[in-house]
Amino acid sequence: MSRIGKNPVDITSGVTVTVDKNVVTVKGPKGELQQIINSDGISVKVEESQVVVERATEQKRHKAMHGLYRQLIRNMIQGVTEGYVIELELHGVGYRANNTGQLLELQLGYSHPVMFYVPEEVKVETKMDKGKAPAIILTSNDKQLVGQIAAKIRAFRKTEPYKGKGVRFKGEEVRRKAGKTAAK
């Protein structure tokens, strides 16, 4: 049996979970999220202060979807109560970040600035402190969306292993490689 799927999800106070056919809706202080359950062998039930996800058969696909949907519902409950924050750092000479509303402007060593529009569901903030790397802070109640936006921003200039320049997650360790040595 799925170890993750068999655990019920606790509903925190101030959060309401409703199940309508194959749509799970979670409402809380930080917003509302919905998840469609596409698998026909998975059922979701709200029992008192817990959400229980059950599967119909022991098929491999149903086992995989069992744990997946349980975790997605858990992430939704956590998102509408606490929210998710991802911080990115820009390492490199002349690397800068600036935002005007939802439009993010990045200077990443290219001949032109990189302009990126962040969806309305994600709140973006930039910090440029003296002596520290410029930072981009992404905040949202949707874990998947904020992670996807962070991955897209990181893909503009991935951290390279020789000098360590690029966009990286806060606290990310970069394995450095030795450069070429001159033969004499």
* pLDDT of amino acid 144: 93
Does the residue 104 lie in any domain? Answer: yes
How many folded domains does the chain comprise? 2
Residue 158 exposed, middle or buried by CB count within 10 Å (0-12, 13-18, 19+):
exposed
> Which pLDDT score is estimated for 5?
81
Q: Is residue 2 scored above 70 in pLDDT?
A: no
Q: For residues 28 and 5, which has the higher predicted lDDT (pLDDT)?
A: 28
CB neighbours of residue 9 within 10 Å: 22
Mark whether 42 and 74 lie in a shared domain: yes
pLDDT attached to residue 6: 83
Sign of the alpha-carbon dihedral angle for 138, 143, 146, 149: positive
Q: Is residue 77 part of a domain?
A: yes
Can you give the residue range of the structural domain that contains 49? 9-81
Q: Which two tokens stand for residue 139?
A: 């905040």
pLDDT at 1: 45
Residue 87 has pLDDT above 70, yes or no: yes
Q: Residue 44 and residue 29: Cα distance in Å, rounded?
A: 23
Give the end of a domain, one of 81, 116, 134: 81
Please tell me the pTM assigned to this model: 0.87
Q: What is the pLDDT of residue 59?
A: 87
Assess contact for 171 and 163: CB atoms under 8 A: no
Tokens found for residue 150: 């962070």
Asked if 68 and 117 sit in the same domain, the reply is: no
Query: Is-contact 133 119, C-beta < 8 A?
Result: no
Using the 3D structure, point to which of 50, 81, 112 is the last residue of a domain. Answer: 81
Confidence of residue 4 (pLDDT cuts 50, 70, 90): confident
User: Per residue in 101-153, pLDDT tens?
Assistant: 999 999 999 999 999 999 999 999 999 988 899 999 999 999 999 999 999 99
Residue 180, domain member (yes or no): no
Does 98 have pLDDT greater than 50?
Answer: yes
> What is d(CA 168, CA 143) in angstroms, rounded to the nearest whole number?
18
Contact 172, 164 (CB under 8 A): no
Could you read off the pLDDT of 26-80 as tens digits, one per residue? 999 998 999 998 878 888 889 888 989 888 888 888 888 888 999 999 999 999 9
